[in-house]
Structure 1
């Protein structure tokens, strides 16, 4: 499994809008093969900073989801980018396990 932590900073006062758009992105990923976790969080001390915690079965699953065309009922990547005051920061993670993640035998 692979993980990513994306940190995004919205234009001042627009963190709630950014979080809402990212929650819509998360909705489009329900049932997406290989997507184990796609968690949206706001920084409690700075609501204009929004984090996306991702866990994918493998890099290929993440790339397939990223390359998929936007759904008619989902947000376009441009919707996210328009709300950002600076480029997102990505941290790649090695996922070791935890609550809610399947084990090697596929059990949660």
Structure 2
């Protein structure tokens, strides 16, 4: 099981738009094979900073989600990138378990 923490900073005043776009991405991933958690959070102290917490069964699942075509009603990756003031920061994780994940480690 793998995890990722993504931190994205929107252009000034556009954090709400960024969060909304990422929530639409999250909805598209609901039920996607291998997707365990795709959580969108807005920084309480800086609403232009949005965090994405991801948990995947494996890297292949995460890559498949990235390669999947966006729905006709968007957003596509270019829409999200256009809202950013700088490149996203990614931290890769080895997920060990916790609340919200199956206790037996089977996914």
TM-score range, shorter chain: over 0.9
Checking the alignment, whether the CA contact within 8 Å between 1:43 and 1:51 is kept in structure 2 is yes
The corresponding residue for 2:4 is 4
Residues 34, 57 of structure 1: 8 Å contact kept: yes
Contact 1:5 1:91 survives alignment (8 Å): yes
For 2:50 and 2:93, the matched residues in 1 are separated by 18
Q: What is the CA RMSD across the aligned residues, in angstroms?
A: 1.2
Write out per-residue CA displacement over residues 33-69 of structure 1, whole angstroms, 9 at most, x where no aligned residue.
0000000000000000000000000000000110111
| Matched-pair contact (CA < 8 Å) for 2:97–2:105 | no
Structure 1 residue runs without a partner (length 5+): none
Name the SS of the counterpart of 2:54 in structure 1.
strand
Q: Structure 2, unaligned stretches of length 5 or more?
A: none
Note the C-alpha offset of 1:81.
Answer: 0.5
- TM-score when normalising by structure 1: 0.94
Residue 74 of structure 2 is matched in structure 1 by: 74
Equivalent pairs, count: 107
Aligned with 1:23: secondary structure? helix
- Contact 2:9/2:49, CA 8 A, preserved across alignment: yes
TM-score w.r.t. the length of structure 2 is: 0.95
Q: Which runs of 4+ in 1 moved over 6 A?
A: none
* Contact 1:28-1:74 at 8 Å conserved across structures: no
